[in-house]
Amino acid sequence: MAADRLSDLPEDLLRRILYFAPAKEGASTAVLSRRWRFLWQTSGAVNLDSRSYDRTYGASLDNGPKHEAFLQGAMAALRAVAANGPVKRLSLHIESVNIYSISRFVFYRDDESETDHESETDTDQNLISKVMSNPAARSVEELHIAELLEDWSGASFPLLNSLLLHGCHVVFKDLQSMIHGAPHLTTVRLESINILHHWNDSASGNHGCTICGPEVTSLVLTDWSGYGLDEIDSIALDMPKLEYFRYEWFQSCQVSMKSQVWNMTQADLHFKDTMYDEDKLRVTFWHFLRNFGNTKVLKLKLDCPIDELAITDMKRLDELLDNKLLFNLERLEIEGCYNRAGNNVAGIAVANLLHCCPIVHDLWLRIKAKRREVLYNDHDIARKTKLDFDRSVENFKRLRGISGGNDDI
């Protein structure tokens, strides 16, 4: 059955479309035709977007009536959808180029009516907290929050299975309690986020933290702007069922696995440090690698020259790895650069990496010379660093018939 027009589609599919539509525009589709009258209300989703109000109130967020309309619209949307079944998806997108105006929007207060109240009412005034603590939101399974550069207190979503925060500030404790309060959570994407400490934790000098997600199978953790975590030195992940992990961070914040991960199939790791106290970087890197003992596919991207990872003393390398190798690793990809005047040190680093991966049979390298934007043929690197490199290649060829990756080695 072909469908050339929207009206040819069955109601299930129309609901599916409305599941992703912003609430205000979605609700207004009720007047398209009789058939559409109750479609949006039964979509199971409330997607709140400040841009829905730009047409009427202008793009600026520093605007009382817009705050009020957004809040009223949010509450009405939650009420309308919840009246027809559980709200499964809740998303919040507050857009502005100016982070201060987001703050004013979220905490907007009518000064006259607030003069006799003290600052105690901060949380009550927080637009986001009001939306998230609405009883209709308790049933949410999929929560997306984007561009929210403002602290927001965590709410509890016991049925949550997918959490996406994009471009947000988040207080660590709120994040932790949200993840902790969601026993069915399987997908966590924390993209371009900035994790903050609650002020009284910083005062007590407690700068490390653990995120515990017993059912999480997929985790994305990428940092915000360029400074990583302002105040947190380390994150321990207690996620024993993790299968996919994407990580883009500065190593000044150490991330470690608190529990043994058995089923990891792929890890994409991007280390963004370009300059650092060299030995500390090395130590952190090799320590971090120990977390991936069961991973099948490892993609490494390095912003610093790979030379900086080289360990010439094999005994030290084994110590750093705690004598653990990546025994299940089948495919290794390395993308990065090397110092042109590095005297083959890059080759040692590659050899070190191969040393960790006894059964790897797909190898993909793209390592170009630093500064010059010429993409060197990988054979050049192999020649430059022939001794170390060939020895390692020989080693793993012996162990496993080499099948050739989709690029040169």
Partner 1 sequence: MAAPESGDGNNGAARMVTLISSDNTRFEVEAAAASLSQTLQLTILDGGGGGGDGIPLPNVDSATLSKVLEYCIKHAPAAANGGAPNATAVDRAELERFDNEFVNIDQSVLYSLIMAAHNLEIEGLQSLVAKKVADMIKGKSPMEIRRTLGFPDPTPEEQAEMNAHMLEYGWAYE
How far is the C-alpha of 301 from the C-alpha of 251, rounded, in Å?
A: 13
Q: Is 236 in the site for partner 1 (CB under 8 A)?
A: no
Residue 184 vs 400, nearer CB to partner 1: 400
Q: From the CB of residue 274, how many other CB atoms can be counted at a distance below 10 Å?
A: 13
323 binds partner 1 (CB under 8 A): no
Choose one: 96-104, 117-125, 327-335, 345-353; the region binding partner 1 (CB under 8 A). 327-335
Answer for the pair 20, 45: CB distance below 8 angstroms, yes or no.
yes
CA-to-CA separations, 351 to 294, 311, 354, 391, 405, in angstroms, rounded:
20, 9, 5, 8, 17
Taking CB under 8 A as the criterion, the residue among 186, 259, 266, 294 binding partner 1 is 266
Distance of CA 262 to the CA centre of its chain: 21
Angle value at C-alpha 385, between 382 and 391, nearest 5 degrees: 85
> Which two three-digit tokens encode residue 146?
């984007």
Provide, rounded to whole angstroms, the least separation between the CB of residue 397 and partner 1. Answer: 13
Q: Does 203 contact partner 1 by CB under 8 A?
A: no
20 or 227, CB closer to partner 1? 20
Report the SS3 class of residue 93: strand
Q: Which amino acid is at 195?
A: I
399 binds partner 1 (CB under 8 A): no
Q: Where are the beta strands (DSSP E) in 147-186?
A: 162-166, 169-171
For partner 1, which residue of 173, 290, 324, 331 counts as binding (CB under 8 A)?
Answer: 331
Judged by beta carbon, residue 207 or residue 246, the one nearer partner 1 is 246
Minimum gap (Å) between residue 238 Cβ and partner 1: 22
Our finding on whether 393 is near partner 1 (CB under 8 A) is no
> Does 95 participate in binding partner 1 (rule CB under 8 A)?
no
Of 130, 198, 207, 246, the residue at the interface with partner 1 (CB under 8 A) is 246
Residue whose structure tokens are 């515990």 = 212
Q: Which one of residues 201, 330, 393, 396 is an interface residue with partner 1 (CB under 8 A)?
A: 330
Hey, what are 144's tokens? 């997306």
Site for partner 1 in 47-66 (CB under 8 A): 49, 51-52, 54-56
3-state secondary structure (DSSP) of residue 298: strand
**What does the per-residue mask of binding to partner 1 show for 354-373, with x meaning CB under 8 A?**
-------xx-x---------
- Which residues 134-153 are close enough to bind partner 1 by CB under 8 A? none
Q: Which residue of 184, 280, 379, 386 would you call a contact of partner 1, by CB under 8 A? A: 379
- What letter represents residue 13's amino acid? L
**Binding status of residue 88 toward partner 1 by CB under 8 A:** no
- Residues numbered 11-30 forming contacts with partner 1, rule: CB under 8 A: 12-13, 16-30
Establish if 405 lies at the interface with partner 1 (CB under 8 A).
Answer: yes
Cβ–Cβ contacts within 10 Å for residue 93, how many?
18
N residues, the chain: 409
**Taking Cα atoms as reference points, which of 241, 248, 235, 285 lies closest to residue 264?**
241
- Rounded CA-CA distance 268/332 in Å is 10
By CB under 8 A, residue 188 contacts partner 1: no
Radius of gyration of the chain (CA): 26
Interface positions with partner 1 (CB under 8 A)? 1-10, 12-13, 16-34, 37, 49, 51-52, 54-56, 69, 72-73, 76-77, 80, 243-244, 246, 265-266, 268, 296-297, 299, 330-331, 333, 361-362, 364, 377, 379, 403-409
